[in-house]
Structure 1
Amino acid sequence: MSIAGTNIKSVEWLYNNLNTKHLVILDASMPKATDKNTSDSTANYGIKGTRFFDIKTAFSDTTAAFPNTLPSAEKFTASAQQLGINNDSIIVVYDRLGIYSSARAWYLFKAMGHKNVVVLDGGLPAWEKAGYPIEKREDIAIKPGDFQANYAASYFYNATDVLSKLNDDSTLILDARTTDRFEGSVAEPREGLRSGHIPSSKSMPFASLLQEGYLLANNELEKIFTLKETHNKALVFTCGSGVTACVLALAATEVGLKNIKVYDGSWTEWGSRHELPIVSK
């Protein structure tokens, strides 16, 4: 079975395909930076056979200055192999908030050359709402996989790349943070960061692309992107630390937008580097 060419699958589809050969289910849950209660973000239960995709450590460069930084292809390969992922694996990734950090895992796999990966629409809440079974996740021995990353740098931008596009009319920067954070009317959840946004960027809160944890229908997504004047533009997505920017990337890919990048450091980097310009109330 190939799921290349699709990015979202329903819980009904997953339930009906649980016994599919080469299927790997990953829980990519992580707490929100804005959430004080993080106790349930990686709870030890989920869909049968789930393996935990640890964005914050195993699938990040933990030596970097900023959280959730893109890992090297070598580290991604090693971590994926430890999860038993093979080059022919059919990967379904979910999280416990609907669609949140699962989009980051999806985007990382795409950037690392694995196209047979989808996000579970609605995540674990949708699975439970449908009445499908959940079980305790057991720490069992997993046969190492043969996955080999083939990283494509075209998926990501760094701060220098973004800075070079601030006055480029052919590029549009879209910010996935909440409107009040974008405007700079509230303090950032991470200490030491300035408040505001990247000059010339527009606000597109990731939650505006979702309804009760499900991605909006394509016609609704198209309306939202059209209102931001995305036609014939190169799109750069940013957020707090490179996680919810991937929700924008997921939605954009669903409606056929091609020229997209995620700014990996996002506001955690931009807001901390005082030589970089910002706009704030």
Structure 2
Amino acid sequence: MEPLVSTSWLAEHLGEKDLVVFDATMYLPNESKNGREEFARAHIPGAGFFDIDEVADPESNLPHMVPTASRFAALISALGVSNASRVVFYDQKGLSSAARGWWLMGLFGHDQAMVLDGGLPKWQREGRATASGPPRPAAPGQFTPRFRPRRLRGLGDMLENLETDAELVLDARAAGRFAATSPEPRPGLPAGRIPRSRNLPYTELLNPDFTFKSREELRARFAACGVDETCAVVTSCGSGVSAAVLTLGLTLAGHPCGALYDGSWTEWASHPDTPKES
């Protein structure tokens, strides 16, 4: 199943019994908006809300870290997802945080997950219907996870990679944050980057309407960062959300999806023993 669907595809299939649609919007601390509140103002009819901060490890002091397989299974089942479900994620910005939901589903073994190209802004520009109010209670599903650890990287893996250079680290943050010329959105977090990582702001993979660029354009942009068919890639960002846009872009470009560093710069910058560049 293709990981990207158009607004016309979703409009045609909306309401089908096995299709589950989620708004997976997450706003950064400096954006002064709340995804759930904005969902109540306008969302795609029948959609549920996928809270990235809730479908996470509640015991971690880092934001929205990957939950255990059992917690993920319980939460996604309660949201109405089964192993037979087709799941579409979108977000209110266009394409920013929806890919995190797609990536989590794949991490736990579910390949029938997709992202809405252009997200809610494109849906609304086309004059398609929206609904308001809180999400309707979902009939519980039954989801059995199949965890794929090779798609996930932790702090120890990243420190080891500094010694081996086995994987290319692509950072999805804006260029100013990567170069430490712009502040981080999280108060008190120092600016900078992981040594020898390369910058590919996730927005460079998108058209002005927040849809993905063509396969050829994606391949060219990745190639400019040193990615080829044999390259092992780890994506990173501020806290493991927009990194998933790069992971999705790799898949659309025909490259292996690689792995994602879940703690990303928030973990790396907060740790006293990690080397930093600026």
TM-score normalised by the chain length of structure 2: 0.94
The correspondence for 2:50, drawn from 39, 49, 53, is 53
Alignment of 1:104 onto 2:100: yes
Number of corresponding residues: 274
Match of 1:189 in 2: 185
Spell out the pairing of 1:58-77 with structure 2 (5 A cutoff): 59-77=55-73
Q: Structure 2 CA distance, aligned partners of 1:41 and 1:216?
A: 29
Give the distance between the partners of 1:108 and 1:249, measured in 2 at CA.
Answer: 11
Alpha-carbon distance in structure 2 between the residues aligned to 1:114 and 1:261: 16
Cα offset, 1:169, TM superposition: 4.2
Deviation at 1:167, TM superposition (A): 4.1
Verify the 8 A CA contact 2:247 2:257 in the aligned structure 1.
Answer: no
Task: Give the Å deviation of 1:141.
Answer: 3.3
- C-alpha deviation, 1:39, in angstroms: 4.3
Aligned partner of residue 135 in structure 1, secondary structure: coil
Q: CA deviation at 1:81?
A: 1.0
Q: How many Å separate the matches in 2 of 1:42 and 1:151?
A: 32
Q: Which of the numbers 125, 139, 142 marks the counterpart of 1:143?
A: 139
Partner of 1:276: 274
Residue 139 of structure 1 and its aligned partner are, at CA, apart by 4.4
Higher helix share: 2
Corresponding residue number in structure 1 for 2:252: 254
Cα distance in 1 for partners of 2:34, 2:133 equals 16
Q: Distance in 2 between matches of 1:31 and 1:138?
A: 18
Post-superposition offset of 1:140: 3.3
**Which runs of structure 2 are paired with 1:92-131 in the superposition (5 Å)?**
92-131=88-127
The answer to whether the Cα contact below 8 Å between 2:235 and 2:259 also exists between their aligned partners in 1 is: yes
User: Hey, what's the Cα distance between the residues in 1 that align with 2:184 and 2:128?
Assistant: 38
Deviations 1:57-76 (A, max 9, x none): 1x111210100100111111
Q: Give the deviation of 1:216 after TM superposition.
A: 1.1
1:215 counterpart SS class? coil
Equivalent-residue separation in structure 1 for 2:10 and 2:257 (angstroms): 30
Structure 2 CA distance, aligned partners of 1:139 and 1:172?
40
Structure 2 CA distance for partners of 1:160 and 1:169, relative to 1, 3 Å:
closer
Given candidates 230, 239, 242, the residue that maps to 2:240 is: 242
Query: 2: distance between equivalents of 1:137 and 1:77?
Result: 26
Secondary structure, aligned partner of 1:214:
coil
The equivalences for 1:28-39 within 5 A come to 28-35=24-31, 37-39=32-34
SS in 2 for 1:164: helix
Measure, in 2, the Cα distance between the counterparts of 1:226 and 1:210: 16
Farther-moved stretch of structure 1 (161-170 vs 236-245) = 161-170
In structure 2, runs of 5+ residues without a counterpart are none
> Is the 8 Å Cα contact of residues 29 and 42 (structure 1) preserved in structure 2?
no
- 1:155-174 matches, within 5 Å, as 155-174=151-170
Distance 1:188 1:46 in 2: 29
1:224 paired to 2:225:
no
Alignment partner of 2:223: what SS? helix
Alignment RMSD, CA only? 1.4
Instruction: State the AA in 1 paired with 2:186.
Output: R
Cα deviation, 1:229-266, whole Å, max 9, x if unaligned, reads 11121101110000000000000011121151100000
Q: What letter is aligned with 2:266? A: T
Instruction: Normalising by structure 1, report the TM-score.
Output: 0.93
Which range is displaced more, 165-174 or 97-106?
Answer: 165-174
Q: Which runs of 5+ in 1 are unaligned?
A: none
User: Which residue in 1 is equivalent to 2:212?
Assistant: 215
Identity of aligned residues (%): 36
